[in-house]
Amino acid sequence: MKRVLIFDSGVGGLSVYQEIYTQLPSLQYIYAFDDAGFPYGELPETVLIKRTRHIVSLLVERHHIDLVVIACNTASTVVLPTLRAELTIPVVGVVPAIKPAALMSKQKAVGLLATPATVEREYTHQLIAQFASDCDVYRIGSTRLVEMAEEKLRGKSVSLDELAGILTPWQGKVDSIVLGCTHFPLIKAEIAQAFGTPVNIVDSGLAIANRVKSLLGELEAGEQSALVSNYTYNSAADPHTAALNLSLKSLNLGAVQSLNYPGF
């Protein structure tokens, strides 16, 4: 049985986990999130790289991981070369789905919804230049949206008015929206409802799941053995995890355990 580590700053990577789990339910999953460093969209790049490297290498060793998914756009846009140089196992990253959104857009007007860091990254500028040079690409970098997804997974309802307020600048302007942060597919239905007018909403989850499948092979099809548990780790000593643990349980993930990592 293969073991996969999925990493994010918070609950966003769960949107990627869901896509992978649907296709490959027989793997063992270790989900880790760096809530002590959250939100990554507001961290300096050097700090983000250091934190990701530490947590990922610790868990790769502890759980004899076969493949790592950096299920965070903000981290993937800067950390992948370092991780790939350090680890001997495959490292899959996630980047904003600019290319399919640009292809899909009839009006050639695309909105990129991501973290404040991702909308400014050089990597993102290059993606747009390479795949959406025939489109107007509008950007919103929002940490509040990330927090709303965190709240939803802890049982709080999402305010459609607040969402509509964030999306107002794009009304009548775009016909495709890229969810360039893994937190946002968790509130995709609410985003669609708050936007009001019909719009294509594109994320990278399925592409990541397909990539993992092609790297680990079709051999892993079938149900997970009842003897196997999936684990969840966080980096902060957060005692208030009861509501989140309910969401994790519904996704077949274990309750949050703190890494208590002394490295920070």
> How far is Cα 246 from Cα 253, in angstroms, rounded to an integer?
10
Kindly report the backbone phi and psi dihedral angles of residue 57, in degrees, each rounded to the nearest multiple of 5, phi listed first. Answer: -65, -35
Smallest gap from Cβ 162 to ligand DGL, in A, equals: 17
Interface segment toward ligand DGL; rule CB under 6 A; list 52-60, 72-80, 218-226, 253-261: 72-80
Q: Strand pairing partners for 68?
A: 5, 91
Contact with ligand DGL (CB under 6 A) among 28, 105, 124, 182: 182
**DSSP collapsed to 3 states, 187-228:** HHHHHHHHHCCCCEEECCHHHHHHHHHHHHCHHHCCCCCCCC
Radius of gyration for the chain, computed over Cα atoms and rounded to the nearest angstrom: 18
Within residues 100-139, the interface with ligand DGL by CB under 6 A covers: 115, 118
How many residues contact ligand DGL, by CB under 6 A?
Answer: 18
Contact with ligand DGL (CB under 6 A) among 74, 234, 235, 241: 74
Residue 181 falls in the annotated catalytic set: yes
Closest among 221, 171, 176, 227 to 195, alpha carbons compared: 171
The active-site residue, picked from 78, 163, 181, 253, is 181
Mark residues 27-66: x for contact with ligand DGL by CB under 6 A, - for none. Answer: -----------xxxx-------------------------
> How far is Cα 182 from Cα 175, in angstroms, rounded to an integer?
20
**SS3 label, residue 38:** coil
- Contact call for residues 173 and 34 (beta carbons, < 8 A): no
Contact with ligand DGL (CB under 6 A) among 7, 56, 70, 73: 73
Closest among 173, 204, 191 to 77, alpha carbons compared: 204
| Contact flag: residue 10 with ligand DGL (CB under 6 A) | yes
| Contact flag: residue 181 with ligand DGL (CB under 6 A) | yes
The active-site residue, picked from 14, 70, 72, 153, is 72
Smallest gap from Cβ 226 to ligand DGL, in A, equals: 31
- Contact call for residues 96 and 54 (beta carbons, < 8 A): no
| Contact flag: residue 9 with ligand DGL (CB under 6 A) | yes
Residue 135 falls in the annotated catalytic set: no
Contacting residues toward ligand DGL, per CB under 6 A = 8-10, 12, 38-41, 72-74, 115, 118, 143, 146, 181-183
Catalytic residues: 72, 181
